[in-house]
Structure 1
Amino acid sequence: MKILGAFLFFFIAVTAHAQVNWMSMNDALAAQKKEPRKILFKTYTESCPNCKWMDEHAFAKAELANYINTHYYPVAFDAEGKEPITYKGKKYGNKNYGRYRGAQHELAEKLRIFEYPTLIFFDERGNVINPVPGKMGPKKLEIYVTMLADDTYKSIRTGKDWADYQANFNYQLQD
């Protein structure tokens, strides 16, 4: 009984403090070469209140954090930052960083990110699958990370397919 109690305490303690293990895009692309896995690319800016809200309310859920860490290489990308990134053989940066407020990173421009937050899902070879712009609570985020991780998105071709998928999805989280 003591062993079971210790295990439960450890499990609850680890789960309660689980967080997404964010990395850089360069690190995620390098990791993909060794162990292929999809990339969850979270774009944000320091001045974005919806980005902060998602960090505090959606990404802070232990169940989601564990799922994301297991199925994705999670990337946190400051779309107004200066981090140099090499993607598909081309180097991207932010030439205007420090010159004026809100200067957008070249990779954000390449990926056509115009709203923050935006999540972009990449396949195991670094190709864009789908961008998902806007603020999401845990429930909405859960359906996207699940659908893209298990490749269900490949069978969703119409609005009706998407509506049916949402209606039949077994949500584990609430907003």
Structure 2
Amino acid sequence: MKKLVFIGLLLLAANFAQAQDKIEWLKFEEAVAATEANPKMLLVDVYTDWCGWCKKMDKETFTDPAVIKYINEKFYAVKMNAEDNKRTFDFKDKEYTEAKMAGAMRVQSYPNFVIIDPTLMNITQLPGYRQPVEFLDGLSQIVDKGIGAK
């Protein structure tokens, strides 16, 4: 019996460790639903397929263990393609594509990280490529200010 409990705990720990090896990206509407149920800020990574700096963020910054842990703990993370006019979703009784939402958030350069408070009312932007430490510093300043915190 003790072996079974030990194995169960070991599997649980392995599952938790595995869950922290990447950012848990959601669709915008999934993140909105999640924050309505359990309030957290949204971190929206607005990118394009042709953006080299966006790819560098994915490859270098978003694979950093400290960045992964911080984002998964503090935010609901969203990937949003600023040129996608196909996929639609509803937000505040309006229909959007990812491109239309990026425009509504006034994103004009890539990569751009839009942080939305838990009330889904106030946003701030963190534009441009950033290395892991610099990115964490920018995010933590926003979190510490608690934009629109309840």
For normalisation by structure 1, the TM-score amounts to 0.69
Question: 2:105 is matched by which residue type in structure 1?
Answer: L
Kindly indicate whether residue 97 of structure 2 is the aligned counterpart of residue 93 of structure 1.
yes
1:23 is aligned, of 16, 22, 26, to 26
Counterpart residue type for residue 111 of structure 1: M
Q: Distance in 2 between matches of 1:153 and 1:37?
A: 11
Taking only aligned residues, the RMSD between alpha carbons, in angstroms, comes to 2.4
1:59-98 → structure 2 map (5 Å cutoff):
59-81=62-84, 82-93=86-97
1:58: which partner in 2?
61
How many residue pairs are counted as aligned between the two chains? 136
Residue-by-residue CA offset, 1:108-150 (whole Å, 9 max, x unaligned): 1111111010000000011232112111111211112212223
Counterpart of 1:127 in 2: which secondary structure?
coil
Q: Which runs of 4+ in 1 moved over 6 A?
A: none
8 Å CA contact 2:123–2:147 kept in 1: the answer is no
Match of 2:100 in 1: 106
Q: CA separation in 2, counterparts of 1:70 and 1:87?
A: 24
Does the C-alpha gap of structure 1 residues 55 and 110 become closer, same or farther in structure 2, counting only changes over 3 Å?
same
Instruction: Give the % identical residues.
Output: 26
- The verdict on how the C-alpha distance between 1:54 and 1:112 changes in structure 2, with shifts beyond 3 A counting, is same
One-letter amino acid of the counterpart of residue 87, structure 2 = E
Aligned partner of 1:135 in structure 2 is 129
Alpha-carbon distance, 1:153 to partner: 6.5
1:47 to 47, 50, 53: 50
TM superposition score normalised by structure 2: 0.80
Higher strand proportion, which one? Answer: 2
Mark the runs of 5 or more structure 1 residues left unpaired by the alignment. 95-104, 155-175
Q: Is it true that 1:37 corresponds to 2:40 in the alignment? A: yes
Please report how far the alpha carbon of residue 152 of structure 1 lies from its aligned counterpart in structure 2 after TM superposition.
5.8
Matched-pair contact (CA < 8 Å) for 1:20–1:65: yes
Q: Secondary structure at the match of 1:116?
A: coil
C-alpha separation between the residues in 1 aligned to 2:139 and 2:82? 21
